[in-house]
A and B are shown apart, each in its own frame.
Chain A
Amino acid sequence: MTRFEPKIIAFLCNWCSYVAADAAGVSRFVQKPNVRVIRVFCSGMVDPSYVIKAFASGADGVLVAGCHPGDCHYLAGNIKALRRSFLLRKLLSELGVEGKRFRLEWIAASESPLYAKLMNEMIEDVRNLGPCMRSSQKPLKGVA
């Protein structure tokens, strides 16, 4: 049987985490190829409906990454992301999406090794959990 390859959607903030992901590639850190990156301008703009839509459309894990608290390009966007994350994780777990499938991380522009490490770690975590309930789902229509 072929090994389960999870699909991870990563929402990366333009100013820190995306730069880190970019640098991780340039620096040739070993990264597993299960991640689909979506660049956003701030982790604070990742509405819970984006995350839910990702899971509903067949993602097995979702990562939201932003600047460290205090470093936000827009002053406090990452704090907004932090505030939402707890209630969102609780709602997801009630709907059958395990807590480990949704992660919020702070990755600064200079932390490309951390990015590669976190991603590899998360891919393995999600691989161990198995496919998310919606893995066979076709992409959803509608604006999140």
Chain B
Amino acid sequence: MPKKKLAVYTATGCAACENTILDIHYDLGSLTRSADIVFWPYVLGSQWDGLNEQGPVDVCFFAGAIRTEADRIAAVRLRSNSKFMVACGACAAFGGLPSLTDIHPGTPENRPEHLDEGNEFLLPKLESRVFALEHIVDVDYFVPGCPPTRDFLWAAIQSLVYMGDSPARMSFAASRLPMALAESITSGIVPPRGSVFAGEKAVCASCSRIKEEKKFRGFYRPYQIDPDSGRCLLEQGLLCQGLATREGCGGLCTAVGAACRGCFGKAEAVFDPGAKMVSAVSSTFDSTEASEIEGLTKTFVDLAGTFYRYTLATQCALKTPNAEETKHAPDNS
């Protein structure tokens, strides 16, 4: 079997997704026996010129949101060079934290100026807003998470790199993936385009905490309380987004008492994570008095930033870019 070629790149992001690739530990060694990582600026210091010499790439793991012109150019270039484009991490898949800037985008006057040609270092121009990768180029697969969990990333790498060649690896990957995805990779078929390498239900399904009747008496920010170890965090007044969020992490955060922040994006059946959370949280208000409910509501801060923390660019129905702003725009080259 000829060695596969991999590319890894981070646009506007923190490179934690790339660290997660390193985080597969010894398996990285076994990966490099069957694949060459031909382009990875963060770790290998690869140059863009080198990418051309390498020829077509089999799998590109693209992390980070599209915030600047440079990000867009990188996305378009890697897309045209790669067979599979994988949006890796919440920023590439959903816009991630960078897309929160679009809640208060500011005015054209207060956006930073693109420096003139006379300067030695040019800052790349800002895009009109923050995009997820799928807004700019066609994306084949998504690996959500901030950063993606090691298991899913490794499962994604294996199913795309080995593609049925190694049954042992396939069964490892399959055991961690939803059934439809698992069946396709074990039978050596490429997963359907647009597949998400994560679970299908909500995080609550894999959270081990005991859920009883929910009665919300007040909202707390994480530093304000020390939650009981066994009970549902939402019942205790923490704004846990597990019920609107795609599972797959196994309830990592909720297990240690941190409320779910929604980094896997919305669960399959949810229309809009914010609407789902509003519905869920307010139905637990323990009051029928309008004034009392209003008082309770006032204790909440930054709902938009909380409910769409990682997903504003793609899953917030009111803030997703319209067709003119995305890849169909005439300025897309």
Contact = CB atoms under 8 A, between A and B. Distances in A.
Nearest to A142: B271
Contact of B274 (A52, A84, A142): A52
A87 B318 contact: no
Nearest to B317: A56
Contact of A87 (B290, B297, B305, B323): B297
Interface in B275-289: 275-276, 278-279, 281-283, 285, 287-288
A23 B259 CA distance: 49
B300 interface: yes
Interface residues of A, number: 34
A55 B272 CA distance: 12
B166 to A, nearest CB: 37
A48 B317 contact: no
A87 B300 contact: yes
A97 B318 contact: yes
A91 B283 contact: no
A45 to B, nearest CB: 11
B168 interface: no
A133 to B, nearest CB: 8
A57 to B, nearest CB: 8
A91 B307 contact: yes
Tell me if A's interface is mostly helix, strand, loop or mixed. Answer: helix
Contacts of A69: 288
Interface stretch (A1-9, A10-18, A75-83, A122-130): A75-83
Given A84-B283, A88-B278, A95 B319 contact: yes
A66 to B, nearest CB: 13
Interface of A: 47-49, 51-53, 55-56, 69, 76, 79-80, 82-84, 86-88, 90-92, 94-97, 133-134, 136-138, 140, 142-144
Interface of B: 103, 270-272, 274-276, 278-279, 281-283, 285, 287-288, 290, 293-294, 296-297, 300, 302-305, 307, 316-320, 322-323
